[in-house]
Structure 1
Amino acid sequence: MSNVSWRISAPPRWSALILGLVAGVTGPALPATAAPVPVVTRAALDPSLTAGRGANVAFLEQEAENAATNGTVIGPDRTAYTLPAEASGRSAVTLDANEWVEFTLPRAANAITVRYSIPDSATGGGITAPLTVKTRLGARTMALTSEYSWLYNQYPFTDDPQAGLLHPDWWITECQCVPVETSPAPVINKPFRAARFYDEQRLLLGHTYRAGDKIRLIARTVPTTIDLLDSELVGPPKLDLTAVNVLAFGADPTGRHDAAPAIERAIAYAKKVHRRVYLPPGVFQVNRHIVVDDVTITGAGNWYTIVKGRSVALSEPAPDGSIHTGVGFYGKYAADGGSRDVHLSDFAIEGDVRERIDTDQVNGIGGAMSDSTIDGLHIRHTKVGLWFDGPMSNVRVTNNVIVDQVADGLNFHTGVTDSLVRGNFLRNTGDDALAAWSETITDSGNVFDHNTIQTPTLANGIAIYGGENTTVSNNLIADPVREGSALHAGTRFGAEPFTGHLLFRNNTTVRAGTQELNWRIGLGAIWFYALQGTIAADVRVTGDHYLDSTYNAVMLVADWPVKDLYSIDEIKFKDIRIDGTGTSVLSARAGGSASFENVDARNVGAVGVNNCGRFLFTPAGSEFTLTDRGRNDGGWLGPYLPNVITCDDRPPVVPPPAPARW
């Protein structure tokens, strides 16, 4: 399927999630041995290579492949539908029963997050298995589950490993045919396209461990793949004695009884007396939307206050098309006037979404919320972490952790304006991690800044679909898995045109650029796609770093049926560093133009510019024109000016060396 030669071996297809933790299991303390120097990374990179980019998070990341282990290191491998490809850094450690991986804490910590995978059941739906967490004071058990991972087949996927093709008339790259026009229909191996292997779980250790202490993770009953461990020193619960406490209105903090009515009573009272609502430490069961408007709701911290619900099938479809409901905090829909002055902070939202049904409104945050803030939440196991349907304006989404989503992490959909997404950490989204989608009504004036995105399993890290005056700056994006890349702008999905400016500024991508399965070509770390119209706004890409790109650093492409109709015009690249490409610096598969100033490249796997233009191969050269504005080092640009045809449809991949300081 791929000519990417990072692959070492084909690992077994295991996977899972960590749902809950089971209470303490005693055991012998770890032996006192000299602790190795811990390797701390950001997006599996030396942190010095990402300075100033991404979210400022409270935890430190340690990759399992850098830790001590008697298990098996898998990868590196970027081939979609394999365990290494979905791992941070494209490598992990697989443990058989009683094997272990051991991390040395780089600084004091009392809490950990483990990203892992365990097998699915033979019939789908997942299994559970224990993982022992051993420290010098004893041992505890995490209850791992694969109930929220493992999807199969074609979009929008299924959790049935034995299902036939969901769309037998779609192009299937594995057989290079259109099944509906083929007799007999193609035979596919089952399970077909198993994916979305990983999940994660957090654990408060009940004690503060010092730097140099060791955390050993031991598999017990099934093969368990450990991707990484995040360690953190969590402060005490936050108290708000002046707010309206939901306990006073009958909310159950044990999670046994439905707390939604009590929370709603507390909200109603708080609005009357103009006070905040406080969710104290505990687990609060909520199985439907809490509608919020003109209210502030704060928790004790997202490690302590958990709002958790189960998926509920509706007796008949809701007006919005949903056939399920679940936990979520929703503003009123824009058609009903929307909500204003909503402020949510310092609690966790845990859903129960196990499959992708695009009509379902089972998102952590939803509706329309103008003049509002979302800060310090931890959101997992919902369909989309935050899906806003405008028109709406002035929402600030800051400092949240959004993980293990079936679809997007956040989407500004339809007329969201003058809003900010900053300082958020996203991992393991099932579609675009961050997106702005100007369907029907233009999004305008939005900023995506200083976010960290890791391992989106489908689509892109940050995707902009039309809109006006959008800025994407200072983000760190790593390891997109399939059918997308790190940064993307496209005239797609019925979006309004790009107008005003579109700025990509000071972003870092690493191990980006996946194989587009339908086209069977590699995408760029940043890619522009003219599908439903020309891209002709003021587009500037400035100060980005593209590190260890699987294929191209930059791609500009039009869909084949419209390649002679739409173009990508006057994209301006300036002050860019490109360290490592599997193929070219630039792949042009469209008509149009781009200029380059101070774009430095090294460790380029193929020709600097792969210029196919519109594939007409005219004597005048390519229909895509390049302009040299000076100071472009590395020799990658000069031989190909202004429009030399250098078209190699699928050049071989040459894996570059690891990124290094410039």
Structure 2
Amino acid sequence: MFRSLTPARGRPGRPSGTVVALATGLAVLVAGPTAAAASPPASAGAQPVVTRAALDPALVAGRGADVDFLEQEAENARTNGEIIGPDRTAYTLPAEASGRRAVRLTPGEYVEFVLPSAANGITVRYSIPDAPQGGGITAPLRVAVNGKHLRTMTLTSQYSWLYNQYPFTNDPQAGLLHPDWWITECQCVPSATTPYPSIDKPFRPTHFYDEQRLLLGRTYRAGDKVRLTAPPGSAAAWTVIDLLDSELVAPPHVRLLAANVLAFGADPTGRRDSADALDRAIAFARRAHLKVYIPPGTYQVNRHIIVDDVTIEGAGNWYTTIKGREVALPTPAPDGSVHTGVGFYGRDAADGGSRKVHLSGFAIEGDVRERIDTDQVNAIGGAMSDSTIDGLYLHHTKAGLWFDGPMRNVRVTNNIIVDQIADALNFHTGVTDSLVSHNFVRNTGDDGLAMWSEKTANARNTFDHNTVQSPTLANGIAIYGGTDTTVSHNLVADPVREGSGLHAGARFGAEPFTGHLRFTNNTTARAGTYELNWNIGLGAIWVFALDRSIEAPIEVTGDAYLDNTYNAIMLVSDWPVKDLYSISDARFRDVRVDGTGTSVVSARAAGSASFANVDARNVGAVGVNNCGSFHFTPAGSEFTLTDLGGNDGGWLAPWLLPNTITCDDRPPVSPPPPPAQW
């Protein structure tokens, strides 16, 4: 979600003088981690290795989005480059890579993938350096199939590389944006420190990766070899390839009986602006009770298209692209925006919102390179009740979909939302009776999927069967207040910084949790990140009472937390309010924990939780790290654990119950082994 608040300067633990050394220098990023694995032998990659979120697909069966592509990690392919990682340290290239590993190519080096199935389209996730003064560079990447050069892609870092403190800058040489904020590197508030501490520049580089799609021009067979080469003479000193997605793209969809935008003057070459033509087609379609059809092509649109009671179909998101520049407004808009850009927006909720909007089968390509929270430069926005958003590809906007309610009954399904500056999707304020299902999210600059009940509660919404990978800041899936919420059958992997795989937060001024909050049959992988402001590790699922107590039952059933960087489960209240707020009724049942860097449960709040059939193995430090509210009373911790039976693995030993103090503020981290079948 968008953050407009100063990061917490307090922390839910005891003071510590420990300084965490972070890899912030550009040289570290270019060179890769100090313990990079050797390149695989020449025989490696002879057989394709298909993964989901860099995991064996059998480990995540039935969870996450159903997608049309197959994922192959570069580190499993044949290469003469260098494998970087594994490393989960923020501000490093491996940390933001899928599976925390990737392949680094210098000019002349390659990585070669064997197609696991017939394909005519590929997606390449990559990183190349920033320009010395920011703003990005471009560099070529040669694509060959079976030894025959096919295309040369032009990679760019113009949409990557953010720096510094929230809300970040594109300038790698900038000093602190907020010298009055606490920073972990010096364990201080710099503006209150004499002498003023120096910082390494670039300070906290992040958001390194981008991705690009390419139609190959024909269908290639399973077993054919796709080679990606950083050519000699490239402007990029290095090119990191994270993964390749391959897909058999269906032929273009054709709608004959429709208001075809070409008839209203739209330009499919992208040379002329087509916004007015789309408006004319929409107006005609509403009068004639027709759908709007956008044929294959690239259509330039540099502002919002307002939609209400209309169906708009493209030929498919590989064929129909709505693309626009970010445009500075001559004066700020009433909502605070200082830019506009391409996007399809419902009417404002204050004006009644829109209804019966149905968007499908096209891509939206934005031009957002900086984070300005007041800007409405999202791919989809406004309020849209009784509406559907299906089969879109959303790229390079601020947020993919940001809905400002009240509104009801929206279905967001089968979309790909990647390389966003902020959230992929946010239900903000009074969104009810809505579903987000089978969406694929990768590389967001904030929460992947969020519900934020600011001012008016969201209610009866479900996030189901979505995949969220590599959010560079915040959480994979976050619920901020609301009523009767379900988060089910999702797959979340590789959150990088200051967030978790799954999050329930009484924060950001959200309305209280009421009714039920259910996390059911979700899987997280390599989750539980480093919390920058507190200087501690989080959990794969993180429950946080910051603005108020969480009194509604939190029911966690059937989840699997795999290869957790720190804790699997964390329940916490911030240090300044630890004696005010509690988490009173968390229930965990039929949960599996395979690997923790520290603990299965970390409790840093008053309250209680119960556990039934919670099985754990490969626990790094101790099963339960129970600090309660840090008063260490003779009666024990202020947090109570109840054993309802069947908790295998020895993590919940009898002597821990109900509230034995086992507090280690920062236990040592023991990296767990890779997850395996239970």
Q: What band does the TM-score fall into relative to the shorter chain? A: over 0.9
**Ranges of 4+ aligned residues in structure 1 off by more than 2 Å:** 1-5, 136-139
Which residue does the alignment assign to 1:643?
A: 659
Spell out, residue by residue over 1:57-110, the C-alpha distance to the aligned partner (whole angstroms, 9 max, x if none): 000000000000000000000000000000000000000001000000000000
Letter in 2 for 1:355: E
CA apart distance, 1:186: 1.1
Q: Who is 1:158 aligned against?
A: 169
Instruction: Provide, for residues 333-356 of structure 1, a one-character-per-residue CA deviation record: whole Å limited to 9, x for no partner.
Output: 001110000000000000000000
- Show the counterpart of 2:11: none
Kept after mapping to 1: 8 A contact 2:122/2:244 = yes
1:146 to 148, 157, 165: 157
> What does residue 301 of structure 2 align with?
286
Matches within 5 A, 1:91-106: 91-106=101-116
**Counterpart in the other structure of 2:478:** 463
- Aligned identity (percent) is 75
Distance 2:163 2:532 in 1: 15
Q: Deviations over 1:328-378 (max 9, x none)?
A: 000000011100000000000000000000000000000000000000000
Residue 614 (structure 2) pairs with residue 599 (structure 1): yes
Matches of 1:185 and 1:410 in 2, distance apart?
39
In structure 1, stretches of 5+ residues that fail to align are: 15-32
Distance 1:568 1:528 in 2: 8
Q: Contact 2:381 / 2:403 at 8 angstroms: preserved in 1?
A: yes
**Does the aligned pair in 1 maintain the 2:20–2:185 contact within 8 Å?**
no
Counterpart mapping for 1:99-498 below 5 A: 99-136=109-146, 137-220=148-231, 221=234, 222=236, 223-498=238-513
Distance in 2 (CA, whole Å) between partners of 1:82 and 1:34 is 26
What does residue 625 of structure 2 align with?
Answer: 610
- The alignment partner of 1:12 has SS state of helix
Q: What letter matches 1:150 in structure 2?
A: W
Letter in 2 for 1:84: P
Q: Relative to structure 1, is the Cα distance of residues 464 and 141 closer, same or farther in structure 2, using a 3 angstrom cutoff?
A: same
What secondary structure sits across from 1:503 in the alignment? strand
Shift of 1:185: 1.3
Q: Give the one of 2, 12, 23 matched to 2:30.
A: 12
The question of whether the paired residues in 2 share the 8 Å contact of 1:13 and 1:119 is answered with no
1:56 to 41, 52, 66: 66
- Aligned partners of 2:395, 2:70: CA distance in 1, in Å? 20
Deviation at 1:507, TM superposition (A): 0.1
Aligned to 1:22: none
Cα distance, 1:11 vs structure 2? 3.9
Q: Please give the alpha-carbon distance, in whole angstroms, between the structure 2 residues aligned to 1:34 and 1:598.
A: 41
TM-score by length of 2: 0.93
Quote the offset at 1:207 in angstroms.
1.1
**Structure-2 separation of matches of 1:651 and 1:12:** 31
Question: Deviations 1:498-528 (Å, cap 9, x if unpaired)?
Answer: 0000000000000001010111000000000
Partner in structure 1 of residue 639 of structure 2: 624
Query: AA paired with 2:643?
Result: D
TM-score by length of 1: 0.96
AA aligned opposite 1:318: A
Local SS of the residue matching 1:268: helix
Superposed CA offset, 1:519-558 (max 9, x none): 1000000000000000010210000000000000000000
- C-alpha deviations, 1:258-283, integer Å up to 9, x for none? 00000100000000010100000000
Aligned counterpart, 2:49: 39
**Any idea what SS the aligned residue of 1:256 has?**
coil
**CA offsets 1:613-642 (integer angstroms, 9 cap, x no match):** 000000000000000001000010123110
Q: Does the aligned pair in 1 maintain the 2:150–2:216 contact within 8 Å?
A: no
Which residue of structure 1 lines up, in the alignment, with residue 86 of structure 2?
A: 76
Q: Which amino acid aligns with 1:612?
A: C
* Distance of 2:656 and 2:28 partners within structure 1: 39
**Does the CA-based 8 Å contact 2:181-2:190 persist in structure 1?**
yes
CA shift at 1:139, angstroms? 2.3
SS in 2 for 1:189: coil
Name the CA distance, whole Å, in 2 between partners of 1:236 and 1:61. 21
Whether the 8 Å contact between 2:457 and 2:483 is mirrored in structure 1 is yes
Are the counterparts in 1 of residues 120 and 249 from structure 2 also a CA contact under 8 Å? yes
SS of 2:270's equivalent in the other structure is strand
Taking the aligned partners of 1:34 and 1:314, their CA distance within structure 2 comes to 53
In structure 1, what residue type is equivalent to 2:459?
Answer: S
The separation in 1 between residues aligned to 2:104 and 2:602, in whole angstroms, is 37
**C-alpha RMSD of the superposition:** 1.3
2:604 pairs with one of 589, 603, 616: 589
CA contact (8 A) 1:511 1:548 kept: yes
The alignment partner of 2:278 has SS state of: helix
In structure 2, stretches of 5+ residues that fail to align are 1-18, 33-42
CA distance in 1 between counterparts of 2:672 and 2:454 reads: 39
Residue aligning to 2:36? none
- Write the letter of the residue equivalent to 1:12: V
Aligned-partner Cα distance in 2 for 1:207–1:140: 12
Distance 1:441 1:390 in 2: 8
Question: Equivalents in 1 of 2:371, 2:467: separation in Å?
Answer: 24
Instruction: Please state how far the C-alpha of 1:203 moved relative to its aligned partner.
Output: 0.1
SS of 1:257's equivalent in the other structure is coil
1:87 aligns with 2:108: no
More displaced 10-residue stretch of structure 1: 133-142 or 277-286: 133-142
Superposition deviation, residue 3 in structure 1: 8.6
| Structure-1 residue corresponding to 2:527 | 512
| Number of matched pairs | 641
Structure 1, residues 546-592: CA drift from partner, whole Å, max 9, x if none? 00000000000000010011000110000000000000000000000
